Chains A and B, each alone.
Chain A
Amino acid sequence: MTDAVTVPPQTGVTAVIEPPPVGQGGARTRSRKVANARDLLIRSLVPVVLALVAGGVLLAILGRDPFTFYSNVWQGGVQQGSWEDSAMRGAPLLLIGVGLTMIFRANIWNLGYDGQFLVGAALITGLAPRLASSPNVVSLVILFFVAMGAGALWTIIPAFLKARYETNEIITTLMMSFIGVGVANVLVKGPFQDPAVNIPQTKVIPLNHMLPPIPGTRIHVGVLVALAAALLAAYVLKRTSFGLRLHVLGANPRAAAHVGINVKRLIVTAFLVSGALVGAAAAADILGVWGYMRANWNPGYGDTVIPFVFLARLNPLVLIPYIAFFAVLSNGGDLAASNANLSTDFLLVLVALILLFMTVIEYVGRRRDLGGSYLTPGLKNALKAPLFRRKKAAAS
């Protein structure tokens, strides 16, 4: 009926976020929950599987054996203690991912992660040698807070402009990122330059001032910090007033103003939280793995993480396995690629394929009712039919 109510189409991924559940529903809501969980699983896994398959086909075309390649990835990423390296590789990715998740929930696009990350990293590599006399715990805590503060500080200008003048934060964060990368280089080449060497890099932090390992492993405790951050973020988004305010702002900004949310303050808070988490990623990476910083160093973690943030549907808990997957892929991929005589850039091809299939699945899903399955009715029936036939055959 034309006078029937239509839900306005919503922008971006926010529309498919599961709303925070309230109370225990009846059997009906429970079965819907199961269906939702199944849909979420389909939507999240299918692009990854398709990307791996397509990547395999690509390998075969290039004359490499895809099975060898993937088994090499497994060997180099998981087996014989290499899983510990993978875990450490994942820590900064997870922290950045959580930081982006928080602010993307509010439909605000903080794309200045590189600048926020590098400013934080440069500051603590410069500051760490000056704290050498204080006890390790104290210096670590101070350095974490400095990095988080630096990351948060680097979002202040875009946050203020967005809150006060509704300036497009995509442009301002990207510009600030550009400046941040430059500032980090200036710091590394200038005040923080190690006078003992000729190459532009900072002093190396002594080993006993790095993040300690988890007893019994080589993994530094930064990994635990990252996991804790993901769990805490999931709780905040699901169960607190702050999380709900972010959701309302993201889903319907006009409603946010109407129901009395202080939108300006919320925008600034979201930016600060996001920047601080990106800064924490810098601390975990520098203090856990690198110990120093070279000029022009930019690992570009944020760009790598963004596809997974979306694949996880802005859910910090779902993000964890994705980051684990990518950490294994990139860690083991180094070995596999060199064994197969391929550039490590082939791993980026795999990530790009995931993005591509994600878009395809998104498109297919958009044509259906949002929140429903991503499969078209025809495809769904085609997939279901052989299943039913098998069941029937088993029954008869």
Chain B
Amino acid sequence: MPPLAQRDRPKLGPAPDQAPAVELLGITKSFPGVLANDNVSLALPQGEVHCLLGENGAGKSTLMGILAGMLQPDGGRIKVNGEETRIDSPRKALDLGIGTVYQHSTLIGPLTVVENLMLGESRGLRLNFAETRRRLEEFGAMLGVEIDPDVKADELALGRQQQIEIIKALWRGSRVLILDEPTSMLTPQAVGELQKVLERLKSTGLAIVFITHKLHEALALGDRITVLRQGRVTGEIPRERVRLSSPEELEAEIVQLMFGESGKPAEEVAELSVRVEGTKHAATTRGEVALELEHATAAGEGSQPGINDVSLALHLGEVLGVAGVDGNGQRALAEVVSGQRRLSHGEVRYLGAPVGKLSVAQREKLGLRYVTDDRLGEGIVASLPVSLNLVLKRIGSAPYWRRGRMHPEAIEQDAKRLIERFDIRTPSSQARAGTLSGGNIQKLLLARELSFESKVVVFHKPTYGLDLKTTRIVREMIGDLRQGRAALLISTDLDELLEVSDRIAVISGGRIVGVVDNGPTAAEQVGRLMIGDVTLGVQETPEPVGQRA
């Protein structure tokens, strides 16, 4: 085994009899109105992957925030290597050997890998390039990956960026590695690679915490699984049980732990177990072409790429998925359809008529809608009440405005109706939209886009960051559009695409690299297309893309 670090070198090698690397005892943390962690105890033994499983809002991130020194617990104790200690700053956490890899990249894009790694160096004035390179090589060998030290961080694939994040977290000699939802941005292949990296790290005696809300990941990766629900530990499945039990048994038990005895319907369980096998949808009732892009080309924005020569056809009664790693032109694609971005070349047709020159408002009136992924940033106006946010795309039109004058009664009436129909949980229709939870803001947006005679709806990451229940509702709504309407579902969640779509197009670098019919082998095909194995795309879709009608 290569030496990890010359200084601050942690004790390496599997030592199962030792005291846990970190132990949390009775941790309690509350925020105004929420008890995020309620008497949570957790032990992180060396050389194990400890999966922390729970829905959004179960308190996983809070717990890890406490461990990483970002948050201070209200009560409870933390032991590191058997010694009680206070982690009162992120720096202290690093000193104690607790490294964290966050969900989103913290690398500085324009800096090279080596420069990024040197950012954390606190001693000395001069930068020691040679030493950094040498250590990077050591870490690369330990992880089993090869990394070019001089390439800029934003030129790397997300999976590779994450490996550098892991190295960064281990740079100062960590004993504990926390991974917060590490797979949410990755392709299936990159997830596989991550799994191998974790196996190797485990064998060096590192304690790994793997936070996820995906059951199958916990089962595949975890040596030990702890389930959190509403801030409490509802169960811990120890190492032996994880090894010995069958996946079906474990799954049933975990579902029970996640949702409790409150008699969760079987469908939820069924949905949980939707894995990468995918679901086949009857694509027989394909209607006329609802939305068509012909050689659509549009410029990017900042570091976000545009789209290049995209041709796609979406039929009425169909859900067309668009898979791809985030930042490959998805936003440009959605905005070109909604009218927020000008085409530099090509055309968009809606129900046969060209709409490329129409404004956002004109397309909205025709029934072409866009549920944005940036809910707070552009979806709502946080300081306006829910009722006005519901009619925000209809400013100036009857019956809510007549000759420029607002008619509050009409707005109020329809707002109440929509709030009830879409089950938006809000204190009143007058509450500011910014005070709602993420799930309810998404319901607000869905209510706005799906109402008023919608016909074709573009969804961009519609369930990102939502809890399981809302996710299910949203996916059902998307599926319901098959009744005479159509949906373009842009998502980075492959499971979601496999569950909801009839066909899945794959976008990469602003181009559609292939379209795959949903089916048992779809996951693998989509995955290969995502990493650029284009030959497969050609094999699987022999007809020119976009002319499959």
Cβ–Cβ contact B31 & A241, under 8 A: no
The residues of B that contact A261 with a CB separation of less than 8 Å are: 361, 395
Contact pick for B376, options A7, A247, A371, CB 8 Å:
A7
| Chain B window 342-380, contacts with chain A (Cβ cutoff 8 Å), 1 for yes, 0 for no | 000000000000000001111010000010101011111
Asked if A244 CB lies within 8 Å of chain B CBs, one says yes
The residues of B that contact A242 with a CB separation of less than 8 Å are: 404
> In whole angstroms, what is the CA distance A210 to B382 when docked?
48
Contact pick for B56, options A3, A7, A21, CB 8 Å:
A3
Cβ–Cβ contact A3 & B61, under 8 A: yes
| Chain A window 240-254, contacts with chain B (Cβ cutoff 8 Å), 1 for yes, 0 for no | 111011011001101
Asked if A25 CB lies within 8 Å of chain B CBs, one says yes
A363 CB to closest chain B CB (Å) equals: 20
Asked if A20 CB lies within 8 Å of chain B CBs, one says yes
Give the residue name and chain of the B residue nearest to A19 (CB). Answer: B384
Asked if B120 CB lies within 8 Å of chain A CBs, one says no
Contact pick for A257, options B378, B430, B438, CB 8 Å:
B378
Asked if B305 CB lies within 8 Å of chain A CBs, one says no
Cβ–Cβ contact A260 & B393, under 8 A: yes
- Contacts A244-B406, A248-B392, A252-B378 given: A1-B31 contact, CB under 8 Å? yes
The residues of B that contact A29 with a CB separation of less than 8 Å are: 428, 430
Cβ–Cβ contact B436 & A245, under 8 A: no
Asked if A5 CB lies within 8 Å of chain B CBs, one says yes
> In whole angstroms, what is the CA distance A5 to B379 when docked?
14
> In whole angstroms, what is the CA distance A331 to B17 when docked?
87
- Contacts A25-B428, A257-B340 given: A7-B385 contact, CB under 8 Å? no
> In whole angstroms, what is the CA distance A241 to B359 when docked?
18
- Contacts A19-B385, A22-B385, A239-B406 given: A259-B393 contact, CB under 8 Å? yes
Interface residue ranges of A1-26 to B (CB < 8 Å): 1-5, 7-8, 10, 14-15, 17, 19-23, 25-26
- Contacts A1-B57, A255-B379 given: A20-B361 contact, CB under 8 Å? no
- Contacts A29-B430, A258-B340 given: A241-B401 contact, CB under 8 Å? yes
Cβ–Cβ contact A22 & B404, under 8 A: no
Asked if A28 CB lies within 8 Å of chain B CBs, one says yes
Contact pick for B409, options A8, A21, A23, CB 8 Å:
A23
Interface centre among B374, B382, B409, B428 (most CB of A within 10 A): B382
Asked if A262 CB lies within 8 Å of chain B CBs, one says yes
Interface centre among A8, A22, A258 (most CB of B within 10 A): A22
- Contacts A1-B61, A7-B382, A251-B381 given: A258-B372 contact, CB under 8 Å? yes
> In whole angstroms, what is the CA distance A8 to B432 when docked?
13
> In whole angstroms, what is the CA distance A247 to B385 when docked?
12
The residues of A that contact B36 with a CB separation of less than 8 Å are: 1-2
B67 CB to closest chain A CB (Å) equals: 12
Interface size class of A (residues with CB under 8 A): 35 or more
The residues of A that contact B427 with a CB separation of less than 8 Å are: 28
The residues of B that contact A20 with a CB separation of less than 8 Å are: 384, 388, 406
Cβ–Cβ contact A21 & B340, under 8 A: no
Main secondary structure of the interface of B (DSSP, over half): mixed
> In whole angstroms, what is the CA distance A248 to B427 when docked?
22
> In whole angstroms, what is the CA distance A87 to B67 when docked?
64
Asked if B437 CB lies within 8 Å of chain A CBs, one says yes
Contact pick for B377, options A26, A28, A239, A254, CB 8 Å:
A254
Interface residue ranges of A215-254 to B (CB < 8 Å): 239-242, 244-245, 247-248, 251-252, 254
Contact pick for B411, options A22, A25, A254, CB 8 Å:
A22
> In whole angstroms, what is the CA distance A103 to B436 when docked?
29
Interface residue ranges of A276-290 to B (CB < 8 Å): none
- Contacts A20-B388, A22-B387, A22-B388 given: A258-B360 contact, CB under 8 Å? yes
A147 CB to closest chain B CB (Å) equals: 26
> In whole angstroms, what is the CA distance A10 to B383 when docked?
9
> In whole angstroms, what is the CA distance A5 to B437 when docked?
6
The residues of B that contact A23 with a CB separation of less than 8 Å are: 387, 408-409, 411-412, 429-430
Asked if B465 CB lies within 8 Å of chain A CBs, one says yes
The residues of A that contact B396 with a CB separation of less than 8 Å are: 241, 245
Cβ–Cβ contact B384 & A262, under 8 A: no
The residues of B that contact A259 with a CB separation of less than 8 Å are: 360, 392-393, 395
The residues of B that contact A248 with a CB separation of less than 8 Å are: 381, 384, 392, 395
> In whole angstroms, what is the CA distance A239 to B407 when docked?
8
B142 CB to closest chain A CB (Å) equals: 30
> In whole angstroms, what is the CA distance A56 to B201 when docked?
71
Asked if B434 CB lies within 8 Å of chain A CBs, one says yes
The residues of A that contact B362 with a CB separation of less than 8 Å are: 260
Cβ–Cβ contact B65 & A2, under 8 A: yes
Asked if B266 CB lies within 8 Å of chain A CBs, one says no
Give the residue name and chain of the B residue nearest to A23 (CB). Answer: B412
Interface residue ranges of B418-456 to A (CB < 8 Å): 427-430, 432, 434-438, 441
> In whole angstroms, what is the CA distance A2 to B36 when docked?
9
Asked if B59 CB lies within 8 Å of chain A CBs, one says yes
The residues of B that contact A260 with a CB separation of less than 8 Å are: 339, 359-362, 364, 393
The residues of A that contact B432 with a CB separation of less than 8 Å are: 19, 371
Interface residue ranges of B55-89 to A (CB < 8 Å): 56-57, 59, 61-62, 65, 71
- Contacts A3-B56, A7-B434, A28-B427 given: A251-B393 contact, CB under 8 Å? no
Contact pick for B408, options A1, A8, A17, A22, CB 8 Å:
A22
Cβ–Cβ contact B388 & A1, under 8 A: no
A29 CB to closest chain B CB (Å) equals: 5
The residues of A that contact B441 with a CB separation of less than 8 Å are: 5
B residues engaging A (CB < 8 A)? 31, 34, 36, 56-57, 59, 61-62, 65, 71, 338-340, 359-362, 364, 370, 372, 374, 376-385, 387-388, 392-393, 395-396, 401, 404-406, 408-409, 411-412, 415, 427-430, 432, 434-438, 441, 465
A-B pairs, 7 with minimum CB distance: A260-B361, A23-B412, A260-B360, A241-B396, A7-B434, A254-B378, A258-B378
Instruction: Please give 11 more A-B residue pairs, beta carbons under 8 A apart, in addition to A23-B409, A29-B430.
Output: A2-B36, A3-B56, A5-B376, A5-B436, A8-B376, A15-B383, A19-B383, A25-B428, A242-B404, A258-B379, A259-B392
Q: List 28 A-B contacts (CB under 8 A).
A: A1-B57, A1-B59, A5-B438, A7-B382, A7-B435, A10-B382, A19-B388, A20-B388, A22-B411, A22-B429, A23-B387, A25-B430, A29-B430, A239-B405, A239-B406, A241-B401, A241-B404, A244-B395, A248-B395, A252-B378, A252-B381, A252-B382, A254-B377, A258-B378, A260-B359, A260-B361, A260-B364, A262-B359
